[in-house]
C-alpha cells in the first residue's frame, strides 16, 4: 500500500506512479477477495448473525435504541474527528512545504482551514465532530467552575455541532469558492459563538437564582457565577464593537448584534433579580413588594426578548427573500417562529393570567387586620412568620400572609394546610371542615426533616420564587425555603399551634 507514496516522494515519472497506484489497488482488492473467500463460511455467518442481532434489537427495543447502540459501537464522532484532524494535519504539512518552496506569503495559510477544512459535507461533519468535543469540554469546565450539577446542561457538546452543521447547510458553506468560504466560515463562527454564550447563560442563570434564593453568603460560591455573568455581559459587547468596526451593516451583522444585545439584556435581568433576592436576604423583614419587582423585571426582559424574536424573524425573512432562500432556512425559520415567538408568547400570557387570577382569588378572601391586643395568635403556615399587618383567611379558617398565599396559588388551587379548595362557590363553604392530619403533614414533615439534619448553612435546591419557577409545583422545597428557625422545641411548639 505504501509503494505509491514512496513513488510520489522519490519523484518517479507520472506514468510510473499511475501504474504503481493501479498495481497497489489491485493487490489490495485481490488480497481482500482471497481472504474473504477463504473464510467465506465465517463471513457468511457473522453477517447473518449481525443482521439477526439488529433485527432482534429493532423488534425488542425499537429503532431509536438500535441507532443509538450502533452509533456508540462504530464511534462515529471519533472516526469523524480522527479523519478531519488527520486530513487537516496532512494538508498543513503539505502547505508548509509548498509555502517554503514557493516562498509565498504566510497569509495563505490562514485561508487554508476554510479550503480544506469544510470543502464537502463530509469534512463539515468532521469539523462538527471536532467542535462537539471542544464544546463538550468547555461546557463541563464551566459547569464545574460555577458549581452546577444540572444533568441537562451537559448538552452543549450536542447543541454546538448541530448548530454549526445546520448553519453550514443553511449558508451552503461547502459549495462556496475558497475565498468566500473563509468569510462565510468566520461569520458562522461568530453566530455559533453568540449561540454558545446564550447557552452558557442558560446554565448560569439557575445557579445564580438558587444562590440568591438560598441565602448562602459564601464568597467562594458566588464569585465564579458572577464572574461568568460579567464575562457574558462584556464579551458580546466587545464582539459586536469589533465586528462593527470591520464590516458594513448586512443581515448577518444585524443578526449577530441582535443576539449580542439580547444576551446582554438577559444577563442584566438575571443580575437584577439576583440583586433583589440578595437585598431581600440581607434584611430579615418580609419584603412584600419583592415578588412584584421580580415579576416586573422578568416580564420586561421577556417582552424585549419577544420583540427581538420578531425582529430576528423579519431579518430571516429578508435574508430569505433577497439573499439566499434555501429549504433549510425556511425550516429553521418555522422552528424559530414556533419556539422563540409562539411558545414564548404563550408562556408569558399564561404567567400573566396565573398572576391575575391568583390576585383575584386572594382579594376575594376575607382579610383580618392585626390589632393592638394581637388578635391573631398564630403564624403564617407557609413562612412561619408572625402577622404584622394583616392576614387572609381561607374558607377552611387557615391564616396566611396574602403574599405567601398568592405564591402558593400560582402552584395550585388548594389550601396548603388542608388541601381544600381555597376559592369556591358559596354553597360549598358550609361543608368545609378544619384541617386534617394529611394536610398538616405535607409541609411540616419536610421542614422538620431539614431541622433535624441541622446544617447551619442549609442549601436548598434553590428555586427563585418568581412566577415561572413557581408554576412547576415543587411545593415541598418551596415551603421549606423561607424558614429560618433552628430549634426543635420551637418547631414542636409551632406544630402544636398549627394543629390547634
* C-beta of 125 vs 417, nearer to Zn ion: 417
- In angstroms, what is the minimal distance from the CB of 396 to Zn ion? 3
CB atoms near residue 462 (< 10 Å): 20
- In angstroms, what is the minimal distance from the CB of 188 to Zn ion? 52
* C-beta of 330 vs 402, nearer to Zn ion: 402
- In angstroms, what is the minimal distance from the CB of 404 to Zn ion? 3
Burial letters 463-472, b for 16+ CB under 10 A, else e: bbbbbbbbee
Q: DSSP 3-state assignment of 316? A: helix
* C-beta of 380 vs 451, nearer to Zn ion: 380
What is the C-alpha separation between 42 and 198, in angstroms, rounded? 53
Q: Which residues would be at the binding site for Zn ion (CB under 5 A)?
A: 380, 382-383, 396, 398, 401, 404, 415, 417-418
- In angstroms, what is the minimal distance from the CB of 217 to Zn ion? 23
For every residue of 341-400, which 3-state class applies, written as one string? HHHHHHHHHHHHHHHHHHHHHHHHCCEEECCCCCCCCCECCCCCCECCCEEEECCCCCEE
* C-beta of 206 vs 443, nearer to Zn ion: 443
- In angstroms, what is the minimal distance from the CB of 401 to Zn ion? 3
- In angstroms, what is the minimal distance from the CB of 286 to Zn ion? 7
**Is-contact 129 77, C-beta < 8 A?**
yes
What is the crossing angle of helices 178-213 and 107-117, to 10°? 80
* C-beta of 127 vs 465, nearer to Zn ion: 465
What is the C-alpha separation between 259 and 253, in angstroms, rounded? 10
- The set of cell numbers assigned to 103 is 516562498
- The set of cell numbers assigned to 39 is 473464510
* C-beta of 275 vs 390, nearer to Zn ion: 390
What is the C-alpha separation between 486 and 483, in angstroms, rounded? 9
Q: Which residue carries 393570567 as its cell?
A: 353
- In angstroms, what is the minimal distance from the CB of 494 to Zn ion? 13
* C-beta of 219 vs 283, nearer to Zn ion: 283
CA 45, chain centre distance (Å): 46
Bridge-partner residues for 386, per DSSP? 379
* C-beta of 95 vs 290, nearer to Zn ion: 290
* C-beta of 305 vs 386, nearer to Zn ion: 386
The candidate with the shortest Cα–Cα distance to 475, out of 424, 429, 441, 430, is: 441
- In angstroms, what is the minimal distance from the CB of 402 to Zn ion? 9
Cα Rg, the chain, nearest whole Å: 32
**Is-contact 439 417, C-beta < 8 A?**
yes
**Is-contact 370 390, C-beta < 8 A?**
yes
- In angstroms, what is the minimal distance from the CB of 85 to Zn ion? 60
Amino acid at each position: 500500500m505504501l509503494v505509491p507514496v514512496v513513488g510520489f516522494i522519490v519523484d518517479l515519472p507520472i506514468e510510473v506512479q499511475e501504474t504503481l497506484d493501479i498495481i497497489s489497488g489491485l493487490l489490495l482488492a485481490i488480497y481482500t477477495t482471497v481472504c474473504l473467500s477463504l473464510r467465506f463460511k465465517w463471513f457468511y455467518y457473522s453477517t447473518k448473525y449481525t443482521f439477526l442481532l439488529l433485527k432482534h434489537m429493532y423488534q425488542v427495543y425499537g429503532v431509536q435504541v438500535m441507532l443509538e447502540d450502533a452509533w456508540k459501537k462504530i464511534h462515529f464522532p471519533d472516526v469523524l474527528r480522527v479523519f478531519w484532524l488527520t486530513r487537516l494535519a496532512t494538508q498543513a504539512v503539505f502547505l508548509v512545504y509548498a509555502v517554503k518552496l514557493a516562498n509565498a506569503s504566510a497569509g495563505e495559510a490562514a485561508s487554508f482551514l476554510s479550503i480544506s477544512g469544510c470543502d464537502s459535507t463530509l469534512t463539515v461533519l468532521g469539523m462538527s465532530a471536532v467542535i462537539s468535543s471542544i464544546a463538550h469540554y468547555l461546557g463541563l469546565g464551566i459547569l464545574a467552575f460555577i458549581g452546577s450539577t444540572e444533568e441537562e446542561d451537559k448538552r452543549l457538546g450536542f447543541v454546538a455541532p448541530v448548530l454549526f452543521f445546520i448553519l453550514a447547510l443553511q449558508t451552503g458553506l461547502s459549495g462556496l469558492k475558497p475565498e468566500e468560504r473563509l468569510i462565510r466560515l468566520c461569520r458562522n463562527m461568530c453566530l455559533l459563538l453568540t449561540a454558545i454564550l446564550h447557552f452558557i447563560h442558560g446554565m448560569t442563570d439557575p445557579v445564580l437564582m438558587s444562590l440568591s434564593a438560598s441565602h448562602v453568603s459564601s464568597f467562594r460560591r458566588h464569585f465564579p457565577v458572577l464572574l461568568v455573568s460579567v464575562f457574558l455581559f462584556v464579551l458580546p459587547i466587545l464582539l459586536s464593537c469589533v465586528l462593527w468596526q470591520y464590516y458594513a451593516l448586512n443581515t448577518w451583522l444585524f443578526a449577530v448584534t441582535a443576539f449580542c444585545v439580547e444576551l446582554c439584556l438577559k444577563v442584566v435581568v438575571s443580575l437584577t433579580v439576583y440583586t433583589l433576592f440578595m437585598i431581600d436576604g440581607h434584611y430579615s423583614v418580609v419584603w412584600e413588594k419583592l415578588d412584584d419587582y421580580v415579576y416586573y423585571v422578568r416580564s420586561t426582559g421577556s417582552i424585549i426578548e419577544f420583540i427581538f424574536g420578531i425582529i430576528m424573524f423579519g431579518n430571516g425573512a429578508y435574508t430569505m427573500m433577497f439573499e439566499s432562500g434555501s429549504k433549510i432556512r425556511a425550516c429553521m425559520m418555522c422552528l424559530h417562529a414556533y419556539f422563540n415567538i409562539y411558545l414564548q408568547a404563550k408562556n408569558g400570557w399564561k404567567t400573566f393570567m396565573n398572576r391575575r387570577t391568583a390576585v383575584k382569588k386572594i382579594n376575594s378572601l376575607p382579610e383580618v387586620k392585626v390589632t393592638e391586643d394581637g388578635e391573631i395568635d398564630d403564624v403564617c403556615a407557609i413562612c412561619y412568620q408572625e402577622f404584622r399587618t394583616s392576614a387572609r383567611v381561607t374558607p377552611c379558617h387557615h391564616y396566611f400572609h396574602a403574599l405567601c398565599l398568592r405564591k402558593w396559588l400560582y402552584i395550585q388551587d388548594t389550601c396548603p394546610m388542608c388541601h381544600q379548595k381555597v376559592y369556591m362557590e358559596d354553597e360549598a363553604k358550609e361543608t368545609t371542615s378544619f384541617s386534617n392530619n394529611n394536610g398538616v403533614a405535607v409541609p411540616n414533615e419536610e421542614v422538620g426533616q431539614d431541622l433535624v439534619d441541622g446544617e447551619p448553612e442549609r442549601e436548598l435546591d434553590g428555586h427563585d420564587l418568581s412566577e415561572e419557577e413557581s408554576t412547576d409545583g415543587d411545593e415541598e422545597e418551596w415551603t421549606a425555603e423561607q424558614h429560618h428557625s433552628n430549634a426543635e422545641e420551637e418547631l414542636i411548639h409551632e406544630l402544636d399551634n398549627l394543629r390547634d
